Structure 1
């Protein structure tokens, strides 16, 4: 059952029970008012009076929209409601965002007195607001939470809109396109979704490729997100060298991410945890996923989430994750996740609560938010974060092997030197770059590119490139103990992100082969 249908069911029962005050909480006033009108329009309530007050139109009949009185003030509407609750039975007055009723103030106490009058004569007050009601009002009645449209409701909105414009402009969308569009627009108000669709129609046609454009529209809607930083991508961010196993795995996850999963027990992919040697492409992978999947990329800075007051950190994280859900489908990048969730010296328990809150969201959220979390200091990661089933997979990003270095060297050579490298030069650089991370290779070729920029293309000699690589000292040489410790951890605890190492031939000291019996053969 959709949230709209569930809210309608609850509201219908509360009106029938003549609950004295009913709070309908929603950021979509128009949609919430439509819900109330649907409940008032049922045949069994045809003889019951319904009025609605808004600041713009004053007090009117809910069904006919005829003015109820000339006084358009809130005070006049409350006086009218008091007269109705005193003089007749089963009257209902709807107040749309009247004033701040979230705390103990004069307006809240006035509404509470009206609710008591309504209760004496089977009347009801319905308050449509985007904030919680004061607890004194909550105790007098019931509440309904009308959330933003889910994918099913959004699909109906899109189909209805396209049906209205079917003979106006050419529309190339299939049912699957409309379903994907609904997934893209989940998290925005119904009115915003209609505005987006109207923008597509206004250009003269609705093409299949317009489905992907919806991510751009939604990204603009969430231009300034609380707790999240929008990451702008460069064209080069889509290029990643090596990491072939990771890239193959991501290709399969992309198909699931874009599929219609209704009618199955499958859920959208949760994401991936990338651990390993610094500078080997973990952060670049998050950008590449976003670019290749054509989804917006948001960065969650856990260091900025931490606050100085009790409960502030947890509240900020909750708000950021809720916002990511509303921005879905998207890629959520959490760089160096251990810095925010390690908590090795945390005596307050904040880090542990943040871990629990994050893992609960990761487990329960059904929105299409693909998390790419990276970590360099794997030893400080909390064990519960590494348990199988938290992320879809845990990959170890190791130093690139010769084949991966070949691909990385060619990629950065083309980027910074603007031409293809000679095969014999690549072979020499592969040998010289033993122990290099991808960032070391990029740094060396970037330095050559600077020389080329300052001295002209005629200054480029193979010896210059070779000398630059020779004089580059990677982290694996300056801090070999740390790198070897990281690599030793990753060999046994994670799936290799690059090509899987070839299995050694059996010989003395080799592990004994295992026989697997397949029953039924």
Structure 2
């Protein structure tokens, strides 16, 4: 049963029971009023009076919309309600966002008095508000929470809108497209969804590609978001060299992410945890996933989440994760997750509570939020975060092997040198870049690009490019102990993100066993 249908059922029973005060909590005023009016129009209530007060229209008959009195003030409406509750039975007056009723104030006590008058003569006061009512009011009655439309309700909204425009503009959507669009728009108010659909119609047609555009519309609707930073992608973020196994896995997950999962027990992909050597493309993978999937990218900064007051950090994280659910579908990037969720030396217990809160959300959320979390120091992460089933997969991003280095060198050569790389030069650079991370290769070719910029294209010589690589000292040589420690952890405990290696260690030592998973497209 949808939330709207459940809310309608509860409201109907509360009115039948003549509950003196009924709170209807919703951020969608028109949708909440439609719910109340639908309940009032029940044939068995045809003889019972219903009035509704709004600041714009004053007091009116709920069914006919005719004015009930000339005085359009809230005070006048409350006086009218008091009179009706005193002289007649089973009267119902609906107040739409009358005043701030969230705490003990004059308006709240006035509404409480009206509820007591209604209770004496089987009447009801219904308050439609987007904020919780004062506890003193809540104790006088019952409440209904009308959530935003779910996927089923949103589908009906979209189908009704398209039906109204059938024959007016060409519509290329089928049922599956409408279902996918509905899931994309979950989290926005019904009125906003209608506005988005109207915007699509104004261009003269509703095309297949417009389904994906809904994610962009939704992103613009939310704008600046609490706890999340919208990441604008550059053209250079659209490519990733190497990491072929992970990229093949992502292509399969994209199909699940965009599919209609109704009628199955499947849930949208949770995401992936990328661990491994710094500078090998973990952060770039989050950006490339967002670009390839055509979904907005948001960065959750766990360092900014932490607050100095008790409960502040937990509240900020909760708000950020709820916001991520509202903007779904999206890619949520958590960079260096260990900095916010390690907590090995945390005596306050804040980190443990944040871990529990994050894991609960990761386990229970059914929104299409694909998490890409990265970590350079996986040893500091809590064991429960690494347990199978938290993320869809844990990938180990190792130093690139020769075939991956070949791909990375060609990519950055084209970007910075702005020429097709000669095959013989690439082959030499692949050999010279043994032990290089992707960032080391980029840095070397960026330096080549700088020399060309300063001295002109005619200054480019193959030997200059080779000398640049020879003079580049990668992190694996400046800090070999730390890098080898990271690699030793990842070999047996995570799925390799790149191609299976030809050898296992850039330094002397015996071979180690590792898990190699062969993926198919």
TM-score by length of 1: 0.96
Could you tell me how far apart the structure 1 residues matched to 2:116 and 2:407 are? 75
1:24 aligns with 2:24: yes
Match of 1:360 in 2: 360
Match of 2:516 in 1: none
- SS of the equivalent of 2:226 reads coil
Match of 1:206 in 2: 206
Match of 2:102 in 1: 102
Could you tell me how far apart the structure 2 residues matched to 1:292 and 1:99 are? 48
- SS of the equivalent of 2:272 reads strand
Residue 454 of structure 1 and its aligned partner are, at CA, apart by: 1.5
- 1:13-412 equivalence runs, <5 A: 13-412=13-412
- Contact 2:115 / 2:125 at 8 angstroms: preserved in 1? yes
Could you tell me how far apart the structure 2 residues matched to 1:126 and 1:451 are? 74
Provide closer, same or farther for how the CA distance between residues 493 and 197 of structure 1 changes in structure 2, counting only shifts above 3 A.
same
Unaligned runs of 5+ in 1: 512-521
Could you tell me how far apart the structure 2 residues matched to 1:258 and 1:382 are? 31
- 1:452-467 equivalence runs, <5 A: 452-467=452-467
* 1:11-65 C-alpha deviation (Å, 9 max, x unpaired): 1111111111111111100000000000000101111110000000000000000
Could you tell me how far apart the structure 2 residues matched to 1:372 and 1:456 are? 41
- Contact 2:279 / 2:438 at 8 angstroms: preserved in 1? yes
- SS of the equivalent of 2:171 reads coil
* 1:364-415 C-alpha deviation (Å, 9 max, x unpaired): 0000000000000111001100000000000000000011000000000011
Residue 212 of structure 1 and its aligned partner are, at CA, apart by: 1.3
Residue 501 of structure 1 and its aligned partner are, at CA, apart by: 3.9
Match of 1:516 in 2: none
Residue 500 of structure 1 and its aligned partner are, at CA, apart by: 2.6
Unaligned runs of 5+ in 2: 505-510, 514-521
The CA RMSD over aligned residues, in Å, is 1.4
Q: How many residues of Structure 1 are paired with residues of Structure 2 in the alignment?
A: 508
Residue 502 of structure 1 and its aligned partner are, at CA, apart by: 6.5
* 1:125-175 C-alpha deviation (Å, 9 max, x unpaired): 111111110111111111111111111111100000000000111111111
* 1:454-473 C-alpha deviation (Å, 9 max, x unpaired): 11111111111111111111
Could you tell me how far apart the structure 2 residues matched to 1:510 and 1:296 are? 40
* 1:44-91 C-alpha deviation (Å, 9 max, x unpaired): 111111000000000000000000011111111111111111111111
- SS of the equivalent of 2:273 reads strand
Could you tell me how far apart the structure 2 residues matched to 1:311 and 1:98 are? 32
- SS of the equivalent of 2:128 reads strand
TM-score by length of 2: 0.96
* 1:228-269 C-alpha deviation (Å, 9 max, x unpaired): 000001122110000011001111100100111000000000
Residue 429 of structure 1 and its aligned partner are, at CA, apart by: 0.7
Residue 203 of structure 1 and its aligned partner are, at CA, apart by: 1.1
- SS of the equivalent of 2:336 reads coil
Deviates more, 1:405-414 or 1:493-502: 493-502
Match of 1:514 in 2: none
Match of 1:434 in 2: 434
